[in-house]
Structure 1
Amino acid sequence: MTAAYWVTIPLVRLDIELPRDEPIRFNRLRQKVYFYEYRQDRVRVLSKKHWGVRPVVYNWSDLIAEVYSLYAPMGNGGLVENIVIAVRKSGTNEIIDRLFFSHDLEDGKQYWEIIRLFMQQGPDALPTFVRPPRDWDNDFELTPIRRLAPRVQWPEAIDRESRTAPEPSTDSQATNKVTP
């Protein structure tokens, strides 16, 4: 009986608590990337600390994309290829976190190249897209259960920081002045 609860509770919590999407925000001017990460722990199934949304912020220079493949017993041949974003500790090659990015290898490569282009050259360097971006609030392709999922709500400080440019400091303005 206890084992049935241990298996059922995580599945119910995922259905109820998992947000509609897990967005990533890229702030080119700050060179920061903001993740809306959902955590789950199969051992501590009733813990509020180990379950739920955790917004995280990383420096763009610390991120790399990793591709991994594995064979699993499945009906489609068993090969699974995913892309994750690995976060390195600043100044080292030690990986401190991995965040899921894409299930599809080719789509993931294209998305990563578009992101790199945006972060290096800005929005003017992006290609013209055939379809508009997906609106998760008005997406009719979502299943009825996914429509009931909680909407993404960034904490106010992170929401403001991820949408704005850094404040110009007075020191940098003083050093950039040209004297006649």
Structure 2
Amino acid sequence: MVFKTPLLDKPAPGWKQDLPGPNESPSIEPYPPVLSNPPNHVDNVYLELARATVRTRGVGVWLTFLMFSLAIVALLSLIAYILKEGTMPPPIPGIALLMGFIAALWGGVFIWRMDVDPPRDEPIRFNRFRRKVYVYRFHHHGLRPFSRTAWGVRAEVYDWDNLRAEACSVYGPMGSGGLIETVTLAVVKPGTHQVIDRFHFAHEIQQGEMYWAMAQLFMQQGPQALPAFPRPPRDWNNEDVSFNLARRLAPKVQWPAEIDLESRTAS
């Protein structure tokens, strides 16, 4: 079922449509050849799907060096003027150099952390016996790039019946503009349409619909309802990332022991 107006309060930014609810029939049939990755794992108890909030990694590491270079140039220019003239530069150029240094340093740290800090995978597990969803979720804070507590991975648990999927499309700052399509999952207050949390699920609406359909089929009917995939699952923790510095430095996936056991067992 596709709703013509947003179902949730509030809808996701760039809301385009609501996907069927967790216990409704899927809107699309999963077609493995067009999906980016097969499931990480599937058995009678749980389904694990790969997930990533950052789509492309490796470029930011090199962009960071450019940002730090700009910061150094701005700082050295300010120091050189002070040493040569024996006084602070006029207000406008002085403030411009200082702000340039701060912005470049701030931006460089943020870009570096966004490229390196996310884990190699951010999997999501669907446990059909417990009717729970377990999310290995990376958190970040753009206004606090130097913070330790605002950045990092948290394993979060939600009730399957309280999840809602939304297709979104927004125009991002990509040169002359580019359309960014995603599917997000919202967590609603039981018995209402009130959103209490929301997180990224998949890039591209078609892929997101198919992965959501896979979760629905698995939770409603079991693993036998899922299509066969021609490729084996990726080993995200041990794959060859020799030529991608960001992925080499990225932390491996390590679920907390208690949640790992709970998410993989029926009781």
The TM tier, using the shorter chain, reads 0.7 to 0.9
Which of 1 and 2 has higher RCO (CA within 8 Å, sep 6+)?
A: 2
What does residue 49 of structure 1 align with?
149
Q: In structure 2, do the counterparts of structure 1 residues 11 and 162 end up closer, same or farther at CA, with 3 Å as the change threshold? A: same
Query: Does 1:102 pair with 2:228?
Result: no
* SS in structure 2 of the partner of residue 115 of structure 1: helix
CA deviations over 1:130-176 (Å, ceiling 9, x no partner):
2222221343478522133110111111011101112xxxxxxxxxx
Alpha-carbon distance, 1:88 to partner: 0.8
2:252 to 144, 151, 173: 151
Q: In structure 2, do the counterparts of structure 1 residues 13 and 72 end up closer, same or farther at CA, with 3 Å as the change threshold? A: closer
**C-alpha distance in structure 2 between counterparts of 1:29 and 1:153, whole Å:** 23
Identity %: 53
Structure 1 consecutive aligned stretches of length 4 or more whose deviation exceeds 6 Å: none
Alpha-carbon distance, 1:28 to partner: 0.8
**C-alpha distance in structure 2 between counterparts of 1:32 and 1:53, whole Å:** 19
What does residue 66 of structure 1 align with?
166
What does residue 26 of structure 1 align with?
126
* SS in structure 2 of the partner of residue 87 of structure 1: strand
Q: Is the 8 A contact 2:168 2:205 kept in 1?
A: no
Q: Name the Cα RMSD after superposition.
A: 1.9
CA deviations over 1:46-74 (Å, ceiling 9, x no partner):
22221111111000001111001123353
- Structure 2-normalised TM-score? 0.58
Alpha-carbon distance, 1:3 to partner: 2.2
- Structure 1-normalised TM-score? 0.84
What does residue 220 of structure 2 align with?
120
* SS in structure 2 of the partner of residue 11 of structure 1: helix
What does residue 90 of structure 1 align with?
190
Residue identity in the other structure for 1:105: I
Residue identity in the other structure for 2:154: R
* SS in structure 1 of the partner of residue 108 of structure 2: helix
* SS in structure 2 of the partner of residue 91 of structure 1: coil
Larger Rg: 2
* SS in structure 2 of the partner of residue 118 of structure 1: helix
Question: How many residue pairs end up in the alignment?
Answer: 166
